[in-house]
Every structure is written in structure tokens, then in C-alpha cells.
């Protein structure tokens, strides 16, 4: 179909073309995302309140919705050069396989040991913790990508790293745990009996396989109850979307270099960090009225926060120790089924993306797991990369859009984020290969029950 191949298979920026600033999407939003609220007072969280949990510099980034650009410190830029720039790949082989007139590109973030984009924010957060003179950081991890990324960043900078890993992933992915240990981290399956909130959750839900929400509660407790520690989070927060803007900025620079303009931009959405980062500079153009794009957030049908959730203030964690965030949520009491796309098993969604979705700036859709793995396997066989289950949600949507182009004959340019590799997801692939993979879609009653856990918040400001 596209036989000329005037565009390289992989576009790598030169190191001197890499972004030197993060882009803060919120600065271009007229209607800003709603502020984090203190669950006791229901007033916006202040710098002083947040700095007990997060590093000072990160709190500043979190609260700043007007500064458009933040300099990337030289040390972080240097670390990025270990594994970035990441390639923008033209999916010639996939296009050929689909026989579509669409042009498909993907930004591949999996070429590092953490196996995903998570390292982009991990090094930033670890850097600011180190700069503040802290001893260490605590965090949660779902699929293990974030925990691995943070372990790598902490080991590089010489910081302690305590990771609470969602129990289902801890058990399904012992090798992830081992990578973290190789990088010197302490890894605890969550919920655990090492924290008060963990013991409470275990008592209430014996036999639970855990969730990101639970693990967050435990990690926060482990940070605030010890001297010299702070909590860091791999997604959801606005600061994380800020750091991840490097994905979109690199992508935009690469596309501009070759005069490529995407029509549709697709990303998988768990907490929203990858999607928010990928779309950031493009969404900025749309917000400023400079150019229009279609944005599609893709989530698992088993954890459909955008497509079936409510836009409301909710706790970020199951244990209700975190501030309230206004977001599309299934309720902090929602504990997703043991779906393998671990990184997308979060009840809520970045407040930046939630607000953009609510404003109609972005679409959302959900897919069931087996159709996602079918697309993943098809992709692996022609593009060579074995994708992470999370990323494969975006692949599925991209393939669907490309097939639509085949029907209509439209030569659209599709860009999607390939956030990571599936090397640590082989149990899930084995289930798919053996035909024993099952789908799960929560029933309306189940959702109604978890919506009932939403706190009552009067939003008059």
C-alpha cells in the first residue's frame, strides 16, 4: 500500500533535539482540572498539607496549573539519554498486513529494563527526592512496570526504594519482583500486614488479590510514618502527566521533522500518565485552537473508569488516606477482577484527562481482554515487538481505526502510544495461547455498589 517508504521505519531524534522542558498541558486549559481537596475540610490541598506526603518540588509542580513549561534538570536529561530518545516507528508491516490505506505510527517506550514509559517520571521524582536530601521513597506498583522503573531510578541515585506490589501481580510476576530486587528495592505484596491500612483491608476483604488503590494507601502510610521518606506515584497525578509530556514532545518534534500530521491519536488509559503525556503537545494545539485532532483513550472493559464511571470527587486510594481528586471514577471501593492488564486496573483517572474528556476534547472506548490479546499477537507477529497487555489496548483501537479507513478508503494518519513490552506478561499470553483466557465486564449492580462508596462533596467553590 505504502510502497515508497520515504519515511524511515524508525525515527530517532538526535540527543540534542530531545526536549529540555516539560510541557504543562493545564496551562492551556481555560477550564482547569478541579483541585485536590483535603478530605477533612473539603478545601483545596495546600502546599503545606501536601509536602508531608510528596517532595516539595513535586508539590509545586502538582499545584501549578499556569506555568506552561518546566525546565528538565541536566541530571534528568542525562539519565534520559541512557534510554531515550525513544523511536517513533512507522508500522509499515502492520499496514501491509491490514492492507489499509491508513498510515500508522507508534511511539515505542519499551526499550528500557522497566519495559515502559514509567521510567520518564520515576527518574524525575527520584531526582527531586534526592535533591531534597531524603533517604528514600515509597510507592505502589500494579503490573510492576512502575515499581521497576522507580527501582532503577533510585538505584541510580542511591535512594532507598520500598515498593508495595498489587498481590495478584506479585504472584503472577515473580520475575518483575526479581528485577526490582536486582535494582536493590524492597518489594512487599499488597495488601500486607506491614501497615495499618493493609491490615484493615485484609480484615474487610480476606483473600483479596489487591488493587492499585490498596497499594497506594499502604505506600502512603509507609512514607508519612517514617522520617526522611516521601511517597511517589507513577500515574494519575498532574505532575506525572507533566513528566510524561516528554513522550508527546519527542513525538511531535519527530513528526514535525518529517511533516507528518496525525489525524487520530490513541493511547491506553489506566491512570492516564501515558495517554496524557503522549497527547500533551497535540492537545495543547487543539486547546489553543491551532489545529484539530481526534484523541481516543482506550481502557479495559473490566475497569471502565472513563466509559462507565462518574465524574466526581473521589479518593485516589482504597484506604482513603489520600486527598480527594475530581475524576472519572468507578468509586475507590471498586476492586477490579484479576484482569491481566495490571497497569490499567485503577478505579480512577488523571484529573487532567478527566476534565478534558468531560469537555468533549477526547473520546474513550473500552475493549475486552481476549480481543486485545488477539490484536497483540497479530501485532507481535508482524511488527516484531511483543507488546504489554496495557499497550495492546491502544493497538486494538489503532487496528480498528485502520480497518475503518480500509472500508472508507480514507488515508488517515494514526498515531498510538506503545507504552511497553509484554516480556513479564507471559502467563497472560500463555492463557491466550491455550484458549483459557476469560473476559470480565462488571455488572451494573456491581458498579452501583462501588459508586455508593463515593464521598459526598459539595462542589460549590
Interaction site with its own copies (CB under 8 A): 8-10, 12, 14-15, 78, 81-83, 92-93, 111-113, 115, 152, 155-156, 174-175, 178-179, 181-184, 377, 380-386, 421, 423-424, 426-427, 429-430, 433
Whole-angstrom Cα distance, residue 346 to residue 357? Answer: 17
When the beta carbons of 176 and 286 are compared against its own copies, the nearer one is 176
3-state secondary structure string, 54-82?
CCHHHHHHHHCCCCCEEECCHHHHHHHHH
In order of 158, 369, 413, the CA distances from 302 in angstroms are 38, 8, 29
When the beta carbons of 15 and 410 are compared against its own copies, the nearer one is 15
**Shortest separation between residue 122's beta carbon and its own copies, angstroms:** 11
Whole-angstrom Cα distance, residue 389 to residue 182? Answer: 24
**Shortest separation between residue 181's beta carbon and its own copies, angstroms:** 5
| Residue that has been written with the C-alpha cell 480514507 in this structure | 410
**Shortest separation between residue 374's beta carbon and its own copies, angstroms:** 12
**Shortest separation between residue 370's beta carbon and its own copies, angstroms:** 14
Give the N- to C-terminal CA distance of the chain in Å, as an integer.
55
Whole-angstrom Cα distance, residue 337 to residue 208? Answer: 10
In order of 73, 113, 178, 239, the CA distances from 154 in angstroms are 16, 14, 16, 18
When the beta carbons of 35 and 342 are compared against its own copies, the nearer one is 342
When the beta carbons of 55 and 179 are compared against its own copies, the nearer one is 179
How does DSSP assign 99-129, residue by residue?
T-SSEEEEEE---STT-BTTHHHHHHHHHHH
When the beta carbons of 15 and 31 are compared against its own copies, the nearer one is 15
When the beta carbons of 47 and 175 are compared against its own copies, the nearer one is 175
**Shortest separation between residue 299's beta carbon and its own copies, angstroms:** 24
When the beta carbons of 38 and 431 are compared against its own copies, the nearer one is 431
**Shortest separation between residue 383's beta carbon and its own copies, angstroms:** 7
In order of 70, 85, 288, 333, 446, the CA distances from 19 in angstroms are 11, 9, 21, 39, 44
The angle, 0 to 180 degrees and rounded to 10, between the axes of the packed helices 238-257 and 119-131 is: 130
Amino acid at each position: 500500500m505504502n510502497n515508497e517508504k520515504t519515511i524511515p521505519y524508525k525515527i530517532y531524534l538526535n540527543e540534542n533535539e530531545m526536549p529540555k522542558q516539560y510541557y504543562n498541558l493545564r496551562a492551556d486549559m481555560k477550564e482547569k482540572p478541579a483541585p485536590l481537596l483535603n478530605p477533612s475540610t473539603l478545601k483545596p490541598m495546600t502546599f503545606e498539607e501536601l509536602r508531608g506526603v510528596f517532595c516539595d518540588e513535586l508539590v509545586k509542580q502538582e499545584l501549578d496549573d499556569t506555568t506552561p513549561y518546566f525546565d528538565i534538570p541536566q541530571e534528568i536529561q542525562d539519565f534520559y539519554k541512557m534510554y531515550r530518545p525513544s523511536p517513533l516507528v512507522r508500522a509499515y508491516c502492520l499496514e501491509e498486513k491490514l492492507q489499509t490505506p491508513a498510515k500508522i505510527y507508534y511511539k515505542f517506550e519499551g526499550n528500557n529494563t522497566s519495559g515502559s514509559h514509567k521510567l520518564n517520571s520515576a527518574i524525575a521524582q527520584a531526582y527531586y527526592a534526592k535533591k531534597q536530601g531524603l533517604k528514600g521513597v515509597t510507592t505502589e506498583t500494579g503490573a510492576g512496570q512502575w515499581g521497576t522503573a522507580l527501582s532503577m531510578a533510585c538505584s541510580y541515585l542511591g535512594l532507598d526504594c520500598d515498593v508495595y506490589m498489587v498481590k495478584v501481580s506479585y504472584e503472577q510476576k515473580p520475575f518483575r519482583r526479581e528485577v526490582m530486587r536486582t535494582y536493590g528495592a524492597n518489594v512487599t505484596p499488597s495488601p500486607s500486614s506491614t501497615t495499618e491500612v493493609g491490615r484493615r483491608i485484609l480484615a474487610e476483604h480476606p483473600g483479596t488479590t489487591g488493587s492499585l488503590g490498596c497499594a497506594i494507601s499502604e505506600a502512603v502510610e509507609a512514607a508519612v510514618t517514617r522520617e526522611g521518606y516521601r511517597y511517589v506515584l507513577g500515574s494519575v497525578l498532574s505532575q506525572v502527566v507533566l513528566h510524561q509530556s516528554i513522550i508527546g514532545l519527542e513525538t511531535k518534534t519527530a513528526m514535525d521533522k518529517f511533516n507528518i500530521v496525525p489525524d487520530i491519536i490513541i493511547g491506553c488509559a489506566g491512570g492516564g500518565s501515558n495517554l496524557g503525556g503522549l497527547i500533551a503537545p497535540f492537545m495543547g494545539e487543539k486547546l489553543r485552537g491551532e489545529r484539530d485532532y481526534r484523541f481516543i483513550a482506550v481502557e479495559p472493559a473490566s475497569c471502565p473508569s472513563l466509559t462507565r464511571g462518574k465524574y466526581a470527587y473521589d479518593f485516589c486510594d482504597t484506604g482513603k488516606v489520600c486527598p480527594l481528586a475530581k475524576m472519572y471514577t468507578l468509586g475507590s471501593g471498586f476492586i477490579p477482577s484479576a484482569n491481566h492488564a495490571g497497569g490499567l486496573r485503577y478505579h480512577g483517572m488523571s484529573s487532567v484527562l478527566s476534565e478534558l474528556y468531560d469537555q468533549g476534547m477526547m473520546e474513550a472506548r473500552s475493549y475486552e481482554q481476549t480481543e486485545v490479546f488477539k490484536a497483540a499477537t497479530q501485532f507481535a507477529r508482524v511488527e516484531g515487538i511483543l507488546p504489554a497487555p496495557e499497550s495492546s489496548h491502544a493497538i486494538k483501537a489503532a487496528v480498528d481505526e485502520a480497518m475503518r479507513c480500509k472500508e472508507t478508503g480514507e488515508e488517515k494518519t494514526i498515531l498510538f502510544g506503545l507504552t511497553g513490552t509484554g516480556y513479564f506478561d507471559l502467563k497472560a499470553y500463555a492463557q491466550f495461547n491455550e484458549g483459557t483466557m476469560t473476559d470480565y465486564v462488571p455488572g451494573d449492580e456491581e458498579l452501583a455498589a462501588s459508586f455508593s462508596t463515593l464521598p459526598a462533596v459539595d462542589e460549590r467553590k
